[in-house]
Amino acid sequence: MALLEQLNKRYATKKFDASKKIAPKDLSALLEAVRLSASSYGLQAYKVVVVEDATIRKQLRAVAWDQSQITDASQLLVFAFESDFDEKGVDRFVQNIAETRKVDASTLSGYSDMMKGTLKRPKEEINIWLARQPYIALGFGLVAAAGLNIDTCPMEGFDPDQFDEILGLKSKGLKSVVLLAVGYRSAEDDYQHLAKVRRSNEEFFITI
């Protein structure tokens, strides 16, 4: 299927078929697409928690407006940024580049200094920047899932503090920002039949 056809077919799934699980091969491909996301500087200062446990998902649903996607999707991905990301994180990243590309870490000192300079901005500003990054990975996940014929629902309708508590993210310095429920639509989900509502090209694009 061509990309645009896939993107027209995808929709924010409200009712998943709880009996359908994503095959391990397809789930791996989807997670790999998320991991391949672009991020500022390439830092990837966030984690993706793959929640499968039914008991935990029941608890999560209770603090996510009782949305059924939380429990009925095949998996629930929780995107959480590293709220205590600091210069040590930059050093680990630089080390990873050096090892992956077989270059001496000292050749990357300019890049390292630039990233550390960014981290000197006010903490509030840094956290806004860090919290944006997982949304790019979310986008990669949405598009990749459409290509794999996997249905999804991106979700912000949840209590991040409660999620962090239930998933033990607080102690890891992680803050959840957005979710991606992944699985297969229920035949009873009426939303799949609705026409896409989008701004017109004229309203959406500005060509200068």
Residue 73 engages ligand FMN in binding (rule: CB under 6 A): no
Among 1, 42, 157, 161, binds ligand FMN (CB under 6 A): 157
Size of the chain in residues? 208
Distance CA 155, CA 106 (A): 42
Nearest to 90 by CA among 125, 120, 49: 120
Tokens of 200: 């017109």
Distance CA 187, CA 34 (A): 27
Q: Which stretch binds ligand FMN (CB under 6 A): 11-19, 20-28, 111-119, 165-173?
A: 11-19
DSSP lists the bridge partners of residue 161 as none
Residue 155 engages ligand FMN in binding (rule: CB under 6 A): yes
Beta carbon nearer to ligand FMN, 115 or 134: 134
Q: Which stretch binds ligand FMN (CB under 6 A): 23-31, 52-60, 108-116, 154-162?
A: 154-162
- In the complex, least distance from residue 45 CB atom to ligand FMN, rounded to whole angstroms: 19
How crowded is the C-beta side of 127, counted as CA atoms within 13 Å? 11
Taking a C-beta distance cutoff of 8 angstroms, is the pair 159, 64 a contact?
Answer: yes
- In the complex, least distance from residue 1 CB atom to ligand FMN, rounded to whole angstroms: 17
Among 53, 125, 156, 161, binds ligand FMN (CB under 6 A): 156
In this structure, the strands spanning 75-82 and 151-155 are unpaired
Residue 153 engages ligand FMN in binding (rule: CB under 6 A): yes
Binding region for ligand FMN (CB under 6 A): 11-12, 14, 67, 153-157, 178, 196
